[in-house]
Structure 1
Amino acid sequence: MYCYPRLRDLREDQDMTQAEVGCLLGTTQQQYYKYEKGIQEIPAHHLIVLADYYHVTVDYLLGRDTKNL
């Protein structure tokens, strides 16, 4: 199982649904749900899009860094 502890928090902070984030990534709500729950590994290109969108680092998204930009 993969671990993406901050995806849900960042999404909710922006008042976005899983479907909206899925659309941002060019994928489905169901696929994004799998990323958020750690069922499936999120591709690097999706991490980059999310980091840019949320104005944080990829390391922050992955839980490797406690600071954001």
Structure 2
Amino acid sequence: MKYPERMKELRQDLDLSQEKISKLLGVAQTTYSQYELDKRSIPIVYLVALCKFYNVSADYMLGLTDKK
């Protein structure tokens, strides 16, 4: 599983909107949407922020492991 799929899955599991997560990161909702659609690479600093927010490892977020 690629990281955009993990991002979407984690967000939906908590019943959060793209707008809520985009505000957390300080980006436009359309920009965040492009991260989830794999149309734009997510900057590392945002990836780290999402890992901390969802309390998962970077390896999990990147799809290198299925262990959170």
Higher helix share: 2
Q: How many residues align?
A: 67
* Structure 2 equivalent of residue 64 of structure 1: 64
Aligned residues with identical type, % of pairs = 36
Q: Where in structure 1 do 4 or more consecutive aligned residues deviate above 6 Å?
A: none
Q: With structure 2 as the length reference, what TM-score do the two structures score?
A: 0.91
Which residue identity is paired with 1:35?
Answer: Y
Counterpart CA distance in 1 for 2:52 and 2:62 is 14
CA positional deviation for 1:3 = 5.1
CA positional deviation for 1:35 = 0.3
**Residues 60 and 66 in structure 2, CA contact (< 8 A), matched pair in contact too:** yes
Please list every run of 5 or more consecutive structure 2 residues that lacks an aligned counterpart in the other structure: none
* Structure 1 equivalent of residue 38 of structure 2: 38
**Residues 60 and 66 in structure 1, CA contact (< 8 A), matched pair in contact too:** yes
RMSD: 1.3
